[in-house]
């Protein structure tokens, strides 16, 4: 793969994309709360959605529209999830699609809609409709940051990235933005992510690429083990890079895949680092499991353990909590072969504590980022999961989310 470089521009960095973000009054504050992304040409599209059985109306409509494989626009609001709002919620989700399509003179089936925020409250559609018109009037190549800010809820900062690389003699760009801070768990969570690219790619190939990228990134993070009602990741490809069309089975398919994986993983890590009340970003690195599936399961059990997470918040080298989580993970382990490391310091060998340098480990635990390595020593399965600690502020934020 030619050298990939990080550039500015977020979702508007690839050719043929514009974006905007405005404040339309959904939120009590004057913060931005409605965003639009536009592809100036029909974009090959794929998307994945929450597994939550109580999926919100926007998810249900977008699932349907995404099946067409073509998208021209994405409209997103924050501050209100439009979830569990009955027939009114369905009407409102369709109205967001219809209003966007009308203002852009495109077909409603070429619009994806997304919402995030408080569950069970009807959208103030008069404000939303005006916001859509205002956002469309402001669409530009420079609007990527406004759009990234407009999809935030409890996020403390916007999350966007863009990269470029050479592919078949052409410069290809991938951009992305995401939101997420709490209710983050595998199989999507209260997070939204939108990826754009100008590569010329077939629909089947794009679908496969997105599936792999999501499985290696957004489905490998957890803040609190909760899975939400509204979550989606969508990718739009304008084809304007001018490369020969990429199809499945091409020898250089992996060049694009690696770049898409990188963009998705960086956005996923940003979400965890901005987890509600987070003070520590923690990588759980599992090695030596029987299978890769077992490794991921073990990693998630450790990452979602409140006892493990609070120990890291307290900067306590309580490895016993990790061993305990392993024991009830439901995967095959040998209780006499487990090794545990905090960064480069081994603290457990063959499931028994070593005499380690407490001062050095204490210094590691004071860091903002910590790597935990667990080697089960029974196979070749491996997985990496990213999580965070559990702090007092997480409780404060979620105790008063509606107020």
Give the active site residues. 190
Asked if 32 contacts 26 with a C-beta cutoff of 8 angstroms, the reply is: no
What is the rounded (10 degree) CA torsion for 96, 97, 101, 103? 0
Which residue's entry shows tokens 């009955």?
A: 86
3-state secondary structure of 285: strand
d(CA 98, CA 347): 59
d(CA 381, CA 310): 27
Six token digits for residue 363? 């210094």
Six token digits for residue 388? 């965070």
Six token digits for residue 249? 């089975």
d(CA 340, CA 73): 47
Six token digits for residue 220? 């490998």
Which residue's entry shows tokens 């939550």?
A: 52
DSSP letter, residue 108: G
Asked if 70 contacts 110 with a C-beta cutoff of 8 angstroms, the reply is: yes
d(CA 71, CA 74): 8
Asked if 308 contacts 385 with a C-beta cutoff of 8 angstroms, the reply is: no
Which residue's entry shows tokens 């709002």?
A: 85
């Amino acid at each position: 793969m030619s050298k990939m470089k990080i550039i500015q521009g977020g979702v508007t960095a690839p050719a043929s994309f514009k974006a905007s973000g405005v404040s339309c009054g959904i939120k009590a504050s004057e913060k931005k709360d409605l965003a639009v992304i536009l592809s100036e040409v029909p974009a090959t599209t794929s998307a994945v959605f929450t597994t939550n059985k109580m999926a919100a109306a926007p998810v249900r409509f977008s699932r349907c529209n995404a099946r067409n494989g073509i998208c021209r626009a994405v409209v997103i609001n924050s501050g209100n999830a439009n979830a569990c709002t009955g027939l009114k919620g369905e009407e409102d989700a369709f109205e967001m699609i219809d209003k966007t399509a009308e203002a852009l003179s495109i077909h409603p089936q070429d619009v994806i809609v997304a919402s995030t925020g408080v569950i069970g409250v009807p959208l103030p559609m008069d404000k939303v409709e005006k916001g859509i018109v205002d956002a469309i009037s402001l669409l530009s190549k420079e609007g990527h940051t406004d759009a990234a800010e407009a999809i935030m809820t409890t996020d403390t900062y916007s999350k966007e990235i863009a990269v470029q690389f050479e592919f078949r003699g052409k410069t290809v760009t991938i951009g992305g933005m995401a939101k997420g801070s709490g209710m983050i768990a595998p199989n999507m969570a209260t997070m939204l992510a939108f990826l754009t690219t100008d590569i010329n790619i077939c629909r089947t190939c794009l679908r496969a690429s997105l599936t792999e990228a999501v499985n290696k990134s957004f489905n490998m993070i957890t803040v609190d083990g909760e899975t939400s009602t509204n979550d989606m990741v969508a990718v739009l490809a304008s084809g304007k890079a001018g490369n020969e069309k990429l199809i499945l089975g091409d020898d250089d398919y992996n060049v694009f895949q690696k770049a898409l994986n990188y963009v998705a993983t960086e956005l996923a890590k940003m979400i965890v680092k901005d987890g509600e009340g987070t003070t520590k970003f923690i990588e759980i690195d599992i090695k030596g499991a029987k299978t890769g599936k077992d490794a991921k399961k073990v990693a998630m059990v450790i990452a979602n353990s409140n006892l493990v997470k609070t120990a890291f918040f307290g900067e306590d080298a309580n490895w016993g909590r990790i061993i305990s989580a392993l024991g009830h993970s439901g995967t095959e382990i040998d209780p006499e072969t487990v090794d545990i490391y905090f960064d480069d310091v081994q603290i457990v060998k063959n499931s028994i504590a070593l005499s380690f340098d407490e001062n050095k480990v204490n210094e590691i635990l004071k860091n903002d980022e910590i790597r935990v390595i667990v080697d089960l020593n029974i196979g070749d399965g491996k997985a990496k999961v990213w999580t965070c600690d559990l702090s007092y502020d997480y409780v404060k934020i979620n105790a008063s989310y509606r107020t």
